[in-house]
Structure 1
């Protein structure tokens, strides 16, 4: 007991030193980033111990020793980590693509360069030198690893753990270079995943304060630091050939070859203002999207953005509602984006053209996706003014226009942090839209046709109040989207509804082996359309438990009164035009890691749900297992399968099966070969689906992709993909498309 008390007092002493302001020393030397730490300058570096186990424990002594070294030379911020481990054979590190290491052993740094607790850069490295970087946004309480920066790292195994070297170019970071000396906030972090996934830190993190950026340690240094011109030119060439055919008629393959060049420019106009421009960009999706089932889902699916032009500094465009969904922009010829900040102000703007015009046609019971064969112009403007550390005001405009169509949206928003535990967010929007008559006529006889008109204009309103003190959490939310409101640049597939939500929950924490955290929460919500007619009323309860082997268990119960499809699609009325059904669903989510190299998870949902095609209540089942296996240091296998089915009176309505299988072989940190197979099989029973025109819909898509990434902008892709289909006219899978492609780009940093 005396030894335990002494160890704890020592940790408190060390952590108290960490709370004090750090001074980052300056050198004129450079580091060769190889993970060896043999340069003399490391002897001059500031030494920091990561003594705090900040999660899931609350500021207990760290179970292992980690030392960080910090120094800068005016061009780079250098960091080194010496991570000790009592059993190095248990270190979890594999070669993989960047940003795919969040379940590995990791060390890294978080940096708030403006010391205003709004945004933090994250740089993490696994013991083999594989990188992960992200932007943490305090306004949205989110972390996005879609940001990819060019920085340098290397890892090296040691007899008692591992060590890592990191070099972060200051040209990457936005900061106020007018200051004689920088005053940043920094947190040094080590992820130590064993039976639990421990988060070790250089500073304390209080659960009662959900703003973790606010609790980072002040650090001074970087006197006279300049960001330089920050000019990068990235030319690229894409070449390939694609072919299609009609498998039902066994026609010959028809195709074309294409080669195109493009140019991207990235320029730091000033230390705080950055310009990105692109000419003839290749906006094709090199990597296949994660497969999703759409069976019995009345709303359009969401797909994550992967294109670099839209990902850089994307957090500057964030607002309380999801108003910027750039997957709506398909194929532009030109694009420009300007982002920056000055003092308490930040701004972001982008504009592109597009060879076509794609947008959601939203409703309160479902949505469609419309495509106009017209070139469009698209722009977004976002502005925020921070009156204080607690109060922010913002403005957003999204603009889309083609020859016969436009959607203009403008709005204001506010965030106010009353206390570290209490936050208020407001947003008011107004949209003006016009859609061509021809488009409306193409949707004749459907709700989408009624939602389109030559003149639409309406407001929207959002309010959210949250309290989170680490134990108790509760929230109130109001969302009102009036009938003629449209946000065609965003992911907002639902409109003409008003929703009120009340939620309440409590967290328990424990140091017991078999559980470390538990949560019980529930919420009640009710939705009406703009005419005050009931759309949905729901009560949901959920219990969560975190335990050994990095296990997580969630049990949820839903009791929901919800209207089904309209009887008469020529009317938007709800009362007298829909049936009200009572859905009762039981959900179960389980994930665990029984061995370091194996991860498993399964989602199960069962109960009574609406059969949207036939407007009735039916028995519903969905089972979605997932498995990730690091078969070796180089080879990883991921498989996701989703089964979804409905029955009525014991007879099948439909069954849908979707399998996403991926084999990834990582030759080195830069080089990877990946095979993706996506299988989709939908079968519908004509006896329980009156008017059914197609019983079988089956497809198999494959992609073989080789990639070599010297950095996120200097890279080579080469691949082959094809797709095979089967329906009622085909007795087996037959290929209907195939393609080969290659892309090369090189970043000139000037």
Structure 2
């Protein structure tokens, strides 16, 4: 009988633990009517009155073991700001990993910080981390989408100093940075205080214990009360900006090199952020500068039929971007290229979260998805864009939401409506569901663009052209179901997605339609200890199968890999993939798969190695070999893929970042293509506010024309360079000045010839009123 009781208790223990934690007495953050000078010295007497919290529990890679180093934090609030002072002891301060870097780039350093679930609902958390020199990292952890967004930037203050016993970091987080429920006099926020201690292992040291079988770590954060005297007098930010650019362009046609055409632009802009209440924010912008200041990471697109993904980096869209998130990426704002205006309202109160925005765009960029590939169409006509999101958190276990988007120009329109939900009946089980429907009217000009200005009758038909023919059936439907069960040592999951042929999400990143996909998988984890040379080992496997809506097989795949983490912060991850997939259509004017494609079998072996062997050094290497479909020629080919990565610091200020990708395809005993992509960046970080960066991105693709069905260039090279100086007083008060150029070479050119040169400067200043 006793054994049965103990067995039952072991099953419901996580739920009992969760309930007990929520019923426990909530500690309070003391209110002190004082302020401190943020200088990393912790010499003010007010710190002796602050709440003292120990950070002494290792939660990763081990589960709740004693910390090898002593760390504490003192905390108080004064009604306008939250103040923290971390005292991080170190037995050998010479081993502290701390470098001057740009914001959000010190994740491999020694760090201290805090996570704040300001609504205490287990749905998201602000993250604020600081290295020993005061360099800031901040992000939003979104539990619903299982993601972290480090592109979010708040305005807060920090300073750090290394001393003989370790280091001290002082922090001031203005409460205006946080969104929280203002309906209660005394606020309740969940918090976790952290230290990251990277040596041979990277230890995550916490102020709390974490049950690893509960996949929601934010849900386990203890609640703190306080902030009853909270005031947000400074709730308006006005950010004027000026962008000056001088651009020289020329259209190189064959061997003819025309003269440069010059264009100088002066673009004033204005951003306004008004925290109407602590839980409701209005953002507005006029003639905003949405230019890309820093170059995107280079990506190879050779032998890839789907569009590449680039992350959002622009402040207007990033602020409270997590309020729009759902299980499927239905809002990818990089689709909006150059708006004249924008307005956004976001808020959350007593379980109700809402968000809306509207912008125009000087262009209309639309992804046309299919089941074997996707294309992007760009029209030089203005478009109107809007999105509306609502989510209701019924309790700690259930959330439901809705999202609608619309995008339209002259003769084009896409409307989407989605409903989603997430249910966690226990700490170990998660159910997700989402259903979406759309209606799309394509502009005939899009077909003309896809057909290279030819009429549809004279066009060389392919899948992207066929997917625009939605006159008779322009309404689409899609849905996804997902379940996962997580224990300390293992995880099992299954999901199903079904997107019909007419489904479109043109405001999001939906690159594949006309398919249904079932996937199921399993993961097992082993935990090491101080006596083993490794600290974690993970075995993962999954199986999936995809068909189009007519039931024709698109792809069937099984993959498995083993990852081992060990000394020198190293990881060895190796695996095998076996996939059957449909090749190109023999008759492009038909969307049929059976009888119109060949079914190929791909077998791939790969290994990924990573290590951080010394302060300021990161190395990685990806190796892949096997056979792969040659998409340009619809046959099997042998592939070799190598991608080394190396980052290292020379002193505390100078960083070298090296990336290279090599890919070679061989078929019928002859080379098909050899592609090389190099991304090299040198950065001198003068201090935490300013840096100078030089970047080179070079693509070099060589093709064996004798081994191609269609005519192709035997060579294609592109070189992009950028020199950038940046000074950032805070994320909104910035100065940029730089130069960039681009050039290319093909069979008609004897060398790389530049077709674009740009000199630019940007200044913006944040007035906090």
- Fold similarity call, TM over 0.5: yes
Question: Where do 1:606-685 residues align within 5 Å?
Answer: 606-685=625-704
* Mapping of residues 218-617 of structure 1, within 5 Å: 218-228=223-233, 230-247=235-252, 248-441=255-448, 442-443=450-451, 444=459, 445-455=461-471, 456-511=474-529, 512-617=531-636
Contact kept? 1:437, 1:453, Cα under 8 Å: no
The one of 148, 151, 154 equivalent to 1:149 is 154
Q: For the Cα contact (< 8 Å) 2:188–2:225, is it kept in 1?
A: yes
Secondary structure class of the residue paired with 1:252:
coil
Partner of 1:8: none
CA displacement 1:202-250 (0-9 Å, x = unmatched): 0001111111111112211112213335110000000010001245323
Contact 1:462 1:480 in 2 (8 A): yes
Q: Does 1:63 align with 2:104?
A: no
| Cα contact 2:360–2:382 (8 A) shared by 1 | yes
Deviations 1:520-578 (A, max 9, x none): 11111000001110000001111111111000111111110100010111000001110
Cα displacement (A) at 1:44? 0.4
Pairwise CA distance, 1:683: 0.5
- In the TM superposition, residue 175 of structure 1 has moved relative to its aligned partner by 1.4
Q: CA deviation digits over 1:558-604, x for unaligned, max 9? A: 11010001011100000111000000001111101222221100111
> More displaced, 587-596 or 309-318?
587-596
Residue from 119, 137, 143 that aligns with 2:142: 137
- Counterpart CA distance in 2 for 1:42 and 1:602 is 46
Tell whether 2:45 aligns with 1:40.
yes
Contact 2:234 2:768 (C-alpha < 8 Å) held by counterparts: no
Aligned ranges 1:22-101 → 2 under 5 Å: 22-101=27-106
Aligned residues: 733
How far residue 440 of structure 1 moved from its aligned partner, in angstroms, is 2.3
SS at match of 1:22: coil
Q: Alpha-carbon deviations, 1:340-392, whole Å to 9, x = none? A: 01211000111100011101110000010011222110011110011111011
After the TM superposition, which residues 705-744 of structure 1 pair with which residues of structure 2 at under 5 Å, given as runs?
Answer: 705-744=724-763
Q: Is the 8 A contact 2:182 2:277 kept in 1?
A: no
Q: Contact between 1:177 and 1:225, CA under 8 Å: does it hold in 2?
A: no
Supply the distance in 2 between the matched residues of 1:651 and 1:324 (Cα, whole angstroms): 43
Pairing 1:698–2:717 present: yes
For 1:631 and 1:565, how far apart are their aligned partners in 2?
Answer: 49
| TM-score, structure 1 normalization | 0.96
Contact 2:180–2:348 (CA<8 Å) still a contact in 1? no
Instruction: Give the distance between the partners of 2:407 and 2:209, measured in 1 at CA.
Output: 46
Deviation of 1:253 after TM superposition, in Å, equals: 1.4
Bigger shift: residues 250-259 or 620-629: 250-259
| Paired residues of 1:99 and 1:145 also in contact (CA < 8 A) | yes
Residue 286 of structure 1, CA deviation:
0.3
Q: Secondary structure at the match of 2:396?
A: coil
Tell me the distance in 2 between the aligned counterparts of 1:93 and 1:607: 41
Distance 1:151 1:542, change over 3 A: same
Please list, as runs of the form range in 1=range in 2, the aligned pairs for 1:181-220 lying within 5 A after superposition. 181-220=186-225
Question: Where does residue 4 of structure 2 map in the other structure?
Answer: none
**Separation (CA, whole Å) in 2 of partners of 1:637 and 1:148:** 25
Three-state SS of the structure 1 residue aligned to 2:705 is coil
Distance 1:507 1:495 in 2: 34
SS of the residue 2:707 aligns to: coil
1:481 Cα offset (Å): 0.3
Q: CA offsets per residue over residues 659-700 of structure 1, 9 Å max, x none?
A: 000001000100100001001001100110133231110011
Partners of 2:250 and 2:117 in 1: CA distance: 54
Shift of 1:25: 1.3
Q: Is the 8 A contact 1:698 1:725 kept in 2?
A: yes
The answer on whether the counterparts of 2:470 and 2:502 sit within 8 Å (CA) in structure 1 is no
Give the Å deviation of 1:438. Answer: 3.3
- State the alpha-carbon separation in 2 of the partners of residues 108 and 117 from structure 1: 19
Structure 1 residues 341 and 157: alpha-carbon distance in aligned structure 2, compared to 1, 3 A threshold: same
CA shift for structure 1 position 737: 1.3
Distance in 2, Cα, partners of 1:234 & 1:493:
36
Aligned match of 1:5: none
Q: Say whether the 8 Å CA contact 1:111–1:185 is kept in structure 2.
A: yes
4+ aligned runs moved over 3 Å, structure 1: 441-444
Q: Any stretches of 5+ residues in structure 1 without a counterpart? A: 1-15
Q: 2:170 aligns with which of 153, 165, 168?
A: 165
**Residues of 2 paired with 1:267 and 1:364: CA distance?**
43
Aligned to 2:14: none
> Aligned-pair distance for 1:20?
6.0
**Partner Cα distance (1:437, 1:267) in 2:** 41
Measured in 2, the distance between the counterparts of 1:438 and 1:313 equals 35
Aligned counterparts of 1:663 and 1:250: Cα–Cα separation in 2: 31
> Shift in Å at residue 650 of structure 1?
2.8
Deviates more, 1:211-220 or 1:75-84: 211-220
Unpaired stretches in structure 2, ≥5 consecutive residues: 1-20, 452-458
Contact 1:110 1:186 in 2 (8 A): yes
How far 1:617 sits from its partner (Å)?
0.4
